[in-house]
Structure 1
Amino acid sequence: MKKLISLIALVLVIVCSVALFITIKDKKKSDDSLQTIKKVSLKKGEIRLGVMLPGDETDSFSKNQIASVKDAAKQCNIPENDIIWKTQVKNSSECKEAMSVFAEANCTHVFVTNERVAASVYENAEDYPDIKFFVYGGTAAKISKVKNVYDYSLKDSEYRYISGVISGMKIKELQEKNALVSENYDDDNKIRLGFIGSYNNSKTISAYTAFFLGVKSVVPDVTMDVEYTDGKNNVNNEGTAVQRLMSRGAVVIGYDTNSLSIPSVVQAQKDGGKNVYLVSANANMLDIAPTAQLAAETNKFNNVYKDIITKCKNNEKISQDLAYGYKEDALEITSFGPEAPANVSETVNALQEQFKQNQIKVFDTSKFKVNGSILTKATIDLSFYEDNEKEAIYKGKEKNAIVKEGDINYFSESSLRSAAYFNYIIDGIKEMKVGELEPKE
């Protein structure tokens, strides 16, 4: 056992060191080869794209964004040299600088892929009236009254739910083989799950709740601990979080960070004999977790960007709040691992089709409780608040998210706005912060 712990610790150190080395090396490379920005004259109706990224090609999310924009631009006959990139934009001052660069380069449309700088975009967009700004995960384009800003989001809860179903199928297989051990159960004999969240916000809460409800649809008696890392690519916190979840006996782990370390550490534990698996987020990680990965949640952002660019080229009226899910061909579950449950492909295909037909209600209120009670009303404040500020920057309406359709009452996610707003800690889930000894209900 001591040897196993030492091996895991060694793997964590190596993974973190390698990731840090790669990040520093690639950041230097990026700094040394800054894109030459030239202001060019454009013909009427011609498009020049700007892309603002929170990272670069060393993190799975930004790498996917870069590839997706390039593919969409190619399909829309936009030359690659008409795409201006700004990487590592993480705060408001860097965002303002990037917006100035895009204007100087004569960009007509800008994709902002980091919702953490949304406030800066809303605040400064009117200074650049000739540019349309599209903010991924933004929540205030409509209520801000800024005419040249648009929000777009993915309906993450759809494929998180399917990931949960896959995980439940695997757990059921392990149960039938009597492969689970005592540490995989809590004191109430419920099977343990784990989830690693980037930020404690509605987007993450909606994602992990959908995952949990997907598992429960197959295996009802489960419980889940949630660890937060306070960042999308925080290698040290990710390593600590996943290690803690596995030490408490989590059988399957989900996450919404842009992580390379989580799959590595889970695979190391599995190689050491633990019953532990994961569903990869944002990218296929089979090369890192060849037997631990059950499947991968992958985003088809190329279709999202193709849709937006096409609408712009055709001068179509564009909603300031755009939501993309299975119906819009923006999500998929791929890359099933060799230990994925039997019939997983057929099950996933069927569920994906049901989402396209609007036949699945992820947050069916009969399927979960909050503090022992069924949600009968869920008042959502659609105002925009920056970080933990109590005063709204932009005032939105308060609306009830509970909808009745036939005999089903459900929390209607991504309908009042595109970005997630489910913000309830449902029974069976415990949130933790890295470093806390005990979970909090």
Structure 2
Amino acid sequence: MKKTHIITFITCLVSLAAFCIVFKILNPSVGRDTLKVGFIYDNDESTPYTYNFSLAKDALEKKYGDHVEIFTCSNVLDDEMEEPLRELADKGCDIIFFNGYSEMVKELAPEYPNTQFCQTSYMDMNGVPVPENYHTFKGEAYQGRYVSGIAAGMKIKQMISEGTIRSDEALVGFVAAFPTSEVISGYTAFLLGVRSIVPEAKMKVCYTNTWSSYAHEKSAAMQLIKDGCVILSQHTDTIGPAIACEEASAKKEVYFVGYNQSMSEVAPGSSLVTSRICWEPYVLGAVDAVMNSREIESVVQGSVHGTDIAAGYEFGWVEIVDLNLQVCAPGTQKAMNVAIDKFKRGHNDFVFWGDYTGTDPKNPSDKISLKNGYIENQNTSYPTFHYILDDVIIILK
């Protein structure tokens, strides 16, 4: 090869290398070629909560394909978190997602500064110091609860107008895990959605004192149906309540409003509608941020509070699925759309509002009036409304 050709070839290589460097600097979207991503589930995909969360993993695989290497650990109890966390971090995971409620995630994060730890929020993180590589996130579930409550209210209104029940029999039931603010906020928003259509409606709540027990949840639902509840919903992790409604519907008119996962397959005759948190926007955004060496909170769209993010309908973090057109009342979709449009426009002050007073179940002297309203998720992704509405919500003993 002639000397001039060699010089020209080398010059081209140097120019190409320089171009690639400059191009990458000017185009932050061009980042790492592959990323290791870990998922730790508190249950497995047979339960609605974990199944719903796993949809984000599926979306990640679909978007990035071979550019992400995914590791999954299932059925991890909160007090057994350390081993799987260290295992994934030691494998070199660049980012790890966890859908459980464990302090261990926050405690271990500083030991692995090159890994981003992302946990669904389990407490009010407002003002709580956390490691830079520890993040929390949650969809504003109260929005979906309220909208699904509207669907339930429309059905109850139809049942009253058709003479199936009297107005004083407008009773909804709720199978709840624990009396945490997350659970209380959800079922309160659900009832207020119902009462936006049927102002006389009331609610009975039965706690199971466990997040995931088919037997306990089904038993609680059966008790609520026996007590006269005509529509049930839940904040627990199994299909037990939906099965109870489906079995009871053979003898009486009773309906079910799902959470996290559609219940139309297991309860086709009684399933009315389902609300779910969409974890995909956060997971996809967080992975994109890490892949391109950017801060997660600068990429993911939502209400940012330090390393904590929340969002609702306006950024696609909440949605209603599987409205059963065979059983829902006429005009249900239109009624739900009115509220959804408000949420999408950023209005969120109409849910926890009205001529209501509430009492803190842990401190009876702590009361609240909703005449001036209460803004949920204002400073944190974790729900903070923790009052039982007086005279309209009855807690079963």
Please state which band the TM-score falls in when normalised by the shorter chain.
Answer: 0.7 to 0.9
Q: Which residue of 2 aligns with 1:67?
A: 55
Q: Distance in 1 between matches of 2:355 and 2:158?
A: 23
Q: Determine if the alignment matches structure 1 residue 295 to structure 2 residue 281.
A: no
Secondary structure (helix, strand or coil) at the match of 2:220 reads helix
Q: Which residue of 2 aligns with 1:198?
A: 177
Q: Which amino acid aligns with 2:322?
A: S
Q: Distance in 2 between matches of 1:239 and 1:172?
A: 26
Q: Determine if the alignment matches structure 1 residue 169 to structure 2 residue 116.
A: no
Q: Which of 78, 87, 98 pairs up with 2:84?
A: 98
Matched residue count: 349
**8 Å Cα contact 2:95-2:115 kept in structure 1:** yes
Q: Which residue of 2 aligns with 1:15?
A: none
Q: Determine if the alignment matches structure 1 residue 83 to structure 2 residue 70.
A: yes
Q: Which amino acid aligns with 1:60?
A: P
**8 Å Cα contact 2:139-2:278 kept in structure 1:** no
Q: Distance in 2 between matches of 1:145 and 1:68?
A: 25
Instruction: Note the C-alpha offset of 1:402.
Output: 9.5
Relative distance call for 1:142 and 1:113 in structure 2 (3 A) is farther
The correspondence of residues 398-417 of structure 1 with structure 2, limited to 5 A, is 409-417=372-380
**8 Å Cα contact 1:138-1:153 kept in structure 2:** no
Instruction: Note the C-alpha offset of 1:308.
Output: 1.9
Q: Distance in 2 between matches of 1:159 and 1:67?
A: 18
1:277-303 deviation line (CA, Å, top 9, x unaligned): 110111111111112111111332222
Q: Which amino acid aligns with 2:242?
A: P
**8 Å Cα contact 2:144-2:319 kept in structure 1:** yes
Q: Which amino acid aligns with 2:99?
A: T
Q: Which amino acid aligns with 2:270?
A: A
Secondary structure (helix, strand or coil) at the match of 1:271 reads coil
1:386-439 deviation line (CA, Å, top 9, x unaligned): xxxxxxxxxxxxxxx999xxxx8321111111110101111211223xxx3xxx
Q: Which of 120, 132, 137 pairs up with 1:152?
A: 137
Instruction: Note the C-alpha offset of 1:103.
Output: 1.6
The correspondence of residues 21-420 of structure 1 with structure 2, limited to 5 A, is 46-77=34-65, 79=67, 82-92=69-79, 94-115=80-101, 117=102, 119-139=103-123, 140=125, 143-180=128-165, 189=168, 191-272=170-251, 274-317=252-295, 318=297, 319-337=306-324, 338-370=326-358, 409-420=372-383
Q: Distance in 2 between matches of 1:370 and 1:199?
A: 18
Q: Which amino acid aligns with 1:316?
A: R
Q: How does the TM-score come out when normalised to structure 2? A: 0.82
Q: Distance in 2 between matches of 1:313 and 1:248?
A: 53
Q: Distance in 2 between matches of 1:47 and 1:294?
A: 40
Q: Distance in 1 between matches of 2:219 and 2:37?
A: 39
Relative distance call for 1:129 and 1:96 in structure 2 (3 A) is same
- Once structures 1 and 2 are overlaid, which stretch shifts more, 241-250 or 53-62? 53-62
- Unmatched tracts of structure 1, length 5 or more: 1-42, 372-377, 380-400, 437-441
Q: Which amino acid aligns with 1:52?
A: I
Q: Distance in 2 between matches of 1:121 and 1:191?
A: 44
Q: Which residue of 2 aligns with 1:21?
A: none
Q: Distance in 2 between matches of 1:142 and 1:68?
A: 28
1:234-264 deviation line (CA, Å, top 9, x unaligned): 1111011001100000011111112212111
Instruction: Note the C-alpha offset of 1:48.
Output: 1.0
1:181-225 deviation line (CA, Å, top 9, x unaligned): 6xxx7xxx3522110112220100000000010011111112211
Secondary structure (helix, strand or coil) at the match of 1:97 reads helix
1:123-165 deviation line (CA, Å, top 9, x unaligned): 2211111111011023348613322101101100001001111
Q: Which of 360, 383, 387 pairs up with 1:424?
A: 387
Q: Which amino acid aligns with 2:268?
A: P
- Unmatched tracts of structure 2, length 5 or more: 1-30, 298-305, 360-365
Q: How does the TM-score come out when normalised to structure 1? A: 0.74
**8 Å Cα contact 1:278-1:293 kept in structure 2:** yes
Secondary structure (helix, strand or coil) at the match of 2:183 reads helix
Secondary structure (helix, strand or coil) at the match of 2:128 reads helix
Instruction: Note the C-alpha offset of 1:79.
Output: 4.1
Secondary structure (helix, strand or coil) at the match of 1:409 reads coil
Q: Distance in 2 between matches of 1:105 and 1:298?
A: 32
Secondary structure (helix, strand or coil) at the match of 2:285 reads helix
1:20-68 deviation line (CA, Å, top 9, x unaligned): xxxxxxxxxxxxxxxxxxxxxxx95742111110111221221222232
Relative distance call for 1:302 and 1:364 in structure 2 (3 A) is closer
Secondary structure (helix, strand or coil) at the match of 2:57 reads helix
Q: Which amino acid aligns with 2:138?
A: S
State, as a whole percentage, how many aligned pairs show the same letter: 23
Q: Which residue of 2 aligns with 1:13?
A: none
**8 Å Cα contact 2:172-2:230 kept in structure 1:** yes
1:306-354 deviation line (CA, Å, top 9, x unaligned): 1222233333332411102111101111212211111222222332121
Q: Distance in 2 between matches of 1:157 and 1:104?
A: 37
Q: Distance in 2 between matches of 1:411 and 1:402?
A: 9
Which is greater in Rg? 2
Secondary structure (helix, strand or coil) at the match of 2:347 reads coil
Secondary structure (helix, strand or coil) at the match of 2:354 reads helix
Q: Distance in 1 between matches of 2:118 and 2:149?
A: 30
Q: Distance in 1 between matches of 2:336 and 2:195?
A: 16
**8 Å Cα contact 1:152-1:323 kept in structure 2:** yes
Q: Distance in 2 between matches of 1:123 and 1:402?
A: 38
**8 Å Cα contact 1:76-1:309 kept in structure 2:** no
